Homo-oligomer: A and B are copies of this chain.
């Protein structure tokens, strides 16, 4: 692979997708192994009376999802998914996880056989029938080797080049360490430090489950329980997350928990994230989740409550809810009217 020029396409142009495209756009110019032209797939929509992709290419700014931050000119928006991916050696997925099945089916048959993917998507396909990582789903559907990136990454702070870290997980069975290092080059900058670990599931599962812990942290805040209690809640949640990861995924590595995708992401989510904030409001206002989402998130759906429900359905179908009392408490407080005080003790 060493002498090949890699062409990169970003699938996604929301808030985080645009930040990732910005980093990639700068980085491809630093290394001769990458083609300088970066496609960014933009879902066709109108904004300020103009097609959003056209506006991005005219202004080199995504004024809808990342206003005020410039994009390098070698990042080119395109509303045609087939054109975006047909020559890509590296597909970088940065879209909400509920759009994954549709986007995958729209690109089937368009890809190079040698293409590979990197998923920045935090989420999980989990229901009573089973559990699957988003990267597993993409890899299986498109028949490409996948990698994953996750970390303590509030998008707007990375866009402002405030220091952050992330973790790239790869599968040693299908991706060499050299290739993983090449992918790392695509994302690593002095202000965005990307570590690599040979453990996709360890990286990805924490990014999905952390939001359940954040709900519990928010309940604790809503009850006015103080810093000891919140630290205890986070610690208990972390231990249960690890147990879950080890029980349902093979080859999880202990070191992964100490990377940015693990402990750091959980910490920042439990102090600064929107799941925490909405859960605090849930306890204080006693309103339904729908109303809180409308009021605090302009109607966007909360990830944590969705994941809590899905994990409950999955565990419940296997008679395993007793093995995960913390996750179960979060579920019952969120959906069955259980007293939020039961989160502790």
Contacts and interface: CB of A to CB of B under 8 A. Distances in A.
Interface of A: 152-154, 157-158, 160, 162-165, 190-191, 193, 225-232, 234-235, 238-239, 242, 254, 258-260, 263-265, 267-268, 271-272, 344-345
B154 A268 contact: no
A231 B268 contact: yes
Contacts of A265: 231
B228 A153 contact: yes
A40 to B, nearest CB: 23
A226 B267 contact: no
Please indicate which of the listed interface residues A191, A226, A239 has the most CB atoms of chain B within 10 Å of its own CB.
A226
Count of identical protomers in the assembly: 2
Nearest to A229: B163
B263 A238 contact: yes
18 contacts: A152-B235, A157-B226, A157-B229, A158-B228, A162-B225, A163-B228, A164-B232, A165-B231, A190-B345, A193-B232, A231-B265, A232-B264, A234-B263, A235-B258, A235-B264, A238-B263, A267-B267, A271-B271
A165 B345 contact: no
Given A163-B229, A165-B228, A227-B271, 10 more contacts: A157-B226, A157-B227, A164-B232, A191-B345, A227-B268, A227-B272, A231-B265, A235-B267, A238-B258, A238-B263
B154 A227 contact: yes
A110 B268 CA distance: 50
Contacts of A345: 163, 190-191, 193
A272 B226 CA distance: 9
Contacts of A164: 228-229, 232
A230 to B, nearest CB: 7
Contacts of A154: 226-228
Contact of A231 (B242, B258, B264): B264
Contacts of A344: 163
Contacts of A234: 263-264, 267
